[in-house]
Chains A and B, each alone.
Chain A
Amino acid sequence: MNKQIYFDYAASTPLDPRVLKTMLPLFEFDFCGNTMSLHSFGQKASEIVEESRNTFAKILNSKPQEIIFTGSATESNNTVLKGIAFANQKKGKHIIISSIEHDCIVESSNWLKKMGFEITKVPVDKFGLIDLEALKLSIRPDTILVSIIHGNNEIGTIQDLEAIGKICKENKVYFHTDASQSFGKTPIDVQKMNLDLLTASSHKIYGPKGVALLYIKSGTKIEPLLHGGGHEYGLRSSTVNVPLIAGFAKAAELCIEEMPQETERLTKLRDKLINSILTSIEGSYLNGHPTQRLSNNINISFSKVEGESLMLQLDFAGIACSTGSACSSNSLEPSHVLLATGLKAHQAHGSLRFSIGRWTTEEEIDYLLEVIPQVINKFRILSPFKL
C-alpha cells in the first residue's frame, strides 16, 4: 500500500493553506520595513504586528502589550525560567516545575541549578496530573516561580490551571504555563487561570515554524534573554518577523473559530483509536489521563516490544508516529514523562504516541488499526519474552 499518513501533529503540524495565503503578500516590497522605523514602510509593518498582538490578547483575555513575540516556544520558556530567575533573585532562588515538563524547561532548570538556583520538581499521579497538595507544600518564602506544562506533549494530560493558579496567587508566586500543545485546542483565559506568564507556539497549530509568543502579565519582573534594539517592549530585541507573526495570528484565529467542532471530531477519533487498540491488542495500556487529555493525543505502551522498532516498521507501512523509548533518543534514556507517571523503564521502551489533527480522517484511523496488530505481532514473535 502506498499511503503516507501523518500521526505526529504533536511534533509539528502542516501549514494551513489559509495561513500561507495570509503570509505570502507580507513577504513583498510593501511590507519590507522594520517595525522600529518611523517612516511609512516601518509603520505599515508595525500595524500588522500590532493587529496580531490584538488577536492574541483577545484570545487569551490579556492586554495587547502583555504579548511579546519570540522565535520559538523553547525561547519563550527559556526567557521565563532565566528571566524570572535573574530578575527576582533578591526575593529568592527557588523555582518549582513539574516532573513532566518539556526538555526546554528541564534543561533551563538544570542550567539555573548550576547558577545557584534551587529547583523542586512536583510529582504527578499515574495519569500525569499534578499533585496539588505536594505543590502547596513545596512553595516556600523564597519561591519565585511555578512553571507547569498545560497539555503534556507526550501523554496529553491537561492540568487544572485554575486550581494551580489559585495556589500560586494565594502564595504570591509567579505562575507560568507552557501551553505549546494546548493553545488552540482548549480554551485558555489568563485572568481566570491567574497566569502571570504563558508560552504558545505557532507550528503546533498549523502556523509557520520559527515564531511563538510569551504572555507576560503587566508588572511582572523579568529580564530579557536578548538585549539590543529594544523590540517587543525591550523584552525581545531582534528585528520583528512580520509575516510569521501574522501567520501565527491567522492560525490562532482559525483554531479558535473551529475549536468546538474540531475538538468534538478529534476526541471521537482519539477515543476510537484508543479503545480499539486497547481491546484488540493484548498487553496494551493507555498512558496519560483517559478524559482529561488533549483531543489529539494517543499514547499507548505495548508490553514485550520496543518502540523504535515499532515506529520504524509503521513508517515502512506509511505511518508516521513517535516513541518514548530510550532507543530512539540520543541520551539512551527512556522518556522522563512516562517514568514520572510510574511506568517502569521497559514499559516506557514499548510506548508509541500517535497525535492527530486537522487533516486526520477516519479512514486513516482505520488503516492504522488494520496495520498495528500485525506490527506488534511481528516483534512479539521476535522477542525472547512471550506474553
Chain B
Amino acid sequence: MTNLSYSPKVLEHFRNPHNFGSISNADAVGEVGNLTCGDVMKLYLKISKNSEGKEFIEDVKFETLGCAAAIATSSVVTDLAKNKTLEDALKIGNQDVIKALDNLPVVKIHCSLLAADALTEAIYSYYQKTAQSIPDYLEKKHQQNLVCHREKAIK
C-alpha cells in the first residue's frame, strides 16, 4: 500500500485527524473492530436537545487503532455526525464516509463500514441507556455488528 493509492482527502484526515481523543463524561460510546483484525474504533458522543427538543450530537470524539484509512474514516465520520440529530446521524452510511473522503482503495472499504458501524453502535447504546425504543432496523444492525465482529475475532 503506497501513499499514492489514498486520495489527498484521506491523507489529509490521516495527518491531521479531526475530533480525536475521548469525552470523559460521554453520553454514549460505540466500539467496533478488534485487535486481531488490526482495527479498533471507539466513538464518544455528547448528546443534547436542540430548540425543537430533538436529541442531537453536540460533541463527538474518536480513538482509533488502525491503518491510515481507519483513522481517516474515523475522523470524517465525526465531521459528518457532529451537530446532527440522532435520527439524521443514523442515516450516515459507509457510502457517505467514502464520498466524504473522495474514495477509498477497494481493500480499505471495510474501514468505512467500521466507521459507520461505530456511530450506529454509539447511538444504539445511547437508546439502550436512556431506555428509548429501538427501531427494528437498528436492533438488526446491532446484532449484525456483533456477529460480524465475533466472526472476525475467530478468524
Q: Which 10 A-B pairs have the closest CB atoms?
A: A327-B67, A384-B63, A346-B35, A308-B67, A384-B42, A349-B38, A383-B65, A345-B36, A328-B1, A312-B68
In the complex, the answer to whether B14 meets A309 with C-beta atoms within 8 Å is yes
Binding site for A on B (CB under 8 A): 1, 3, 11, 14-15, 17, 20-21, 31, 35-42, 63-71, 107, 110
CB-CB nearest in chain B for A315? B3
Binding site for B on A (CB under 8 A): 304-306, 308-309, 312-313, 315-316, 325-330, 332, 334, 344-346, 349, 379, 381-385
Name the A residues within 8 Å of B69 (CB-CB).
Answer: 327
Contact A382/B71 with A312-B3, A327-B1 known, Cβ cut-off 8 Å:
yes
In the complex, the answer to whether A385 meets B67 with C-beta atoms within 8 Å is no
**22 contacting pairs across A/B (C-beta < 8 A):** A306-B38, A306-B39, A306-B67, A308-B1, A308-B67, A308-B68, A312-B11, A315-B3, A316-B15, A325-B38, A327-B1, A327-B39, A328-B67, A346-B35, A349-B35, A349-B38, A379-B65, A382-B64, A382-B65, A383-B40, A383-B64, A383-B65
**Smallest beta-carbon distance A348→chain B, Å:** 9
Name the B residues within 8 Å of A313 (CB-CB).
Answer: 15
Q: Kindly state the separation between the CA atoms of A316 and B11 in the bound complex, as whole angstroms.
A: 10
In the complex, the answer to whether B38 meets A326 with C-beta atoms within 8 Å is yes
In the complex, the answer to whether B66 meets A327 with C-beta atoms within 8 Å is yes
Q: Kindly state the separation between the CA atoms of A305 and B68 in the bound complex, as whole angstroms.
A: 11
CB-CB nearest in chain A for B111? A327
Name the B residues within 8 Å of A327 (CB-CB).
Answer: 1, 38-39, 66-67, 69-70
Name the B residues within 8 Å of A304 (CB-CB).
Answer: 65
In the complex, the answer to whether B66 meets A306 with C-beta atoms within 8 Å is yes
Q: Kindly state the separation between the CA atoms of A328 and B42 in the bound complex, as whole angstroms.
A: 22
In the complex, the answer to whether A384 meets B31 with C-beta atoms within 8 Å is yes
Is the contact region of chain B dominated by helix, strand, or loop, or is it mixed?
mixed
The contact of A382 among B1, B20, B36, by CB within 8 Å, is B20
In the complex, the answer to whether B71 meets A325 with C-beta atoms within 8 Å is no
Name the A residues within 8 Å of B14 (CB-CB).
Answer: 309, 312
Name the A residues within 8 Å of B66 (CB-CB).
Answer: 306, 309, 327
Q: Kindly state the separation between the CA atoms of A309 and B111 in the bound complex, as whole angstroms.
A: 13
Given contacts A312-B3, A345-B38, A385-B40, 15 further A-B contacts (CB under 8 A): A304-B65, A306-B65, A306-B70, A309-B14, A309-B67, A315-B3, A316-B15, A327-B1, A327-B67, A345-B35, A346-B36, A383-B40, A383-B64, A384-B63, A385-B65
Q: Kindly state the separation between the CA atoms of A375 and B39 in the bound complex, as whole angstroms.
A: 18
Q: Kindly state the separation between the CA atoms of A54 and B17 in the bound complex, as whole angstroms.
A: 58
Name the A residues within 8 Å of B67 (CB-CB).
Answer: 306, 308-309, 325, 327-328
Contact A384/B38 with A315-B3, A328-B1 known, Cβ cut-off 8 Å:
no
**Smallest beta-carbon distance B121→chain A, Å:** 13
In the complex, the answer to whether B64 meets A384 with C-beta atoms within 8 Å is yes
**Smallest beta-carbon distance A361→chain B, Å:** 24
CB-CB nearest in chain B for A311? B1
**Smallest beta-carbon distance A188→chain B, Å:** 33
Q: Kindly state the separation between the CA atoms of A270 and B42 in the bound complex, as whole angstroms.
A: 37
In the complex, the answer to whether B39 meets A305 with C-beta atoms within 8 Å is no
Name the A residues within 8 Å of B1 (CB-CB).
Answer: 308, 327-329
Q: Kindly state the separation between the CA atoms of A382 and B15 in the bound complex, as whole angstroms.
A: 12
Q: Kindly state the separation between the CA atoms of A329 and B11 in the bound complex, as whole angstroms.
A: 18
In the complex, the answer to whether B38 meets A305 with C-beta atoms within 8 Å is no
CB-CB nearest in chain A for B21? A381
Q: Kindly state the separation between the CA atoms of A250 and B139 in the bound complex, as whole angstroms.
A: 68
Name the B residues within 8 Å of A382 (CB-CB).
Answer: 17, 20, 63-65, 71
Q: Kindly state the separation between the CA atoms of A306 and B72 in the bound complex, as whole angstroms.
A: 14
Contact A384/B65 with A308-B1, A327-B1, A332-B107 known, Cβ cut-off 8 Å:
yes
CB-CB nearest in chain A for B15? A316
**Smallest beta-carbon distance A317→chain B, Å:** 11
CB-CB nearest in chain B for A312? B68
